[in-house]
Amino acid sequence: MLVAQIPLNHTLESTLDLTAVFAFATSGALLAVHKRFDVVGLVVLAEATAIGGGVIRDLVIGAAPPAAFTHPEYVLVPLGAAGAVFFAHARVERLLALVLLFDAAGLALYAVSGTAKASASGLGPVPAVALGVVTAVGGGVLRDVLAQETPVVLRSDSVLYAIPAFLAAVLVASAREAGVYGTAAATAAVALAFVLRVLALLRGWRAPRPRV
């Protein structure tokens, strides 16, 4: 869902992008297995998780049809992930660390590409940051709402997820405002969100909650 908004090497970008789509879709399909849904549930949660955030972003900036509906690979890759989980979910679970790693990469890429695309469409820095975060976490929220689970991103017992995306989005929007957005800034923002998310997973970092 990057659509050339991150000025990296193009082949690398496409590979990372579809890997992220696959990781997001896998998290959707695995939740469907845990909820004991049928094959339709697996496919719907895989698709919603993988393309939900990008579709919302594109509808908000008026880019209809969304990128996910003009590039069939964005519909087909989640279908592949759902198939893999359907036939081999036990094996996929054993690779959960890998799925979480790719999911972290997806989170970082989507936050950066979402903010950059929103900004390029003419939005100011504040709404662009908001939409960057929505791009990164929207699919996961949709996955949880469809499965009737409290969205992981809202819960105080889950480790940092939206905040790394938010910081990367702020970095991108600031770099654009300063007129220095380019390969270096995009790479730094992706790395920032990715490293923070992985550290949060390793060390159990949580966001503050109000004292009750």
x/- letters, 16..55, toward a copy of itself (CB under 8 A): ----------------xx-xxxxxxxx-xx-x-------x
Asked if residues 74 and 21 have their Cβ atoms less than 8 Å apart, the reply is yes
Q: Within positions 106 to 125, which residues make up the interface with a copy of itself, using CB under 8 A? A: 121-124
* Three-state secondary-structure class, residue 65: coil
Select 94 or 149, whichever has its Cβ closest to a copy of itself.
Answer: 149
Q: How far apart are CA 136 and CA 8, in angstroms?
A: 19
Tell me: does residue 175 bind a copy of itself (CB under 8 A): no
Strand partners, 206: 159
Question: Which residue of 8, 120, 155, 199 would you call a contact of a copy of itself, by CB under 8 A?
Answer: 155
Q: How far is the CB of 92 from a copy of itself (least distance, A)?
A: 10
Select 134 or 190, whichever has its Cβ closest to a copy of itself.
Answer: 134
Asked if residues 131 and 57 have their Cβ atoms less than 8 Å apart, the reply is yes
Q: How far apart are CA 141 and CA 183, in angstroms?
A: 30
Asked if residues 111 and 1 have their Cβ atoms less than 8 Å apart, the reply is no
Q: How far apart are CA 180 and CA 53, in angstroms?
A: 26
Q: How far is the CB of 125 from a copy of itself (least distance, A)?
A: 8
Q: How far apart are CA 54 and CA 134, in angstroms?
A: 8
Residues that bind a copy of itself (CB under 8 A): 32-33, 35-42, 44-45, 47, 55, 59-62, 64-66, 68-70, 72, 75-76, 85-87, 89, 121-124, 126-127, 130-131, 141, 145-151, 153-156, 161-163, 206-210, 212
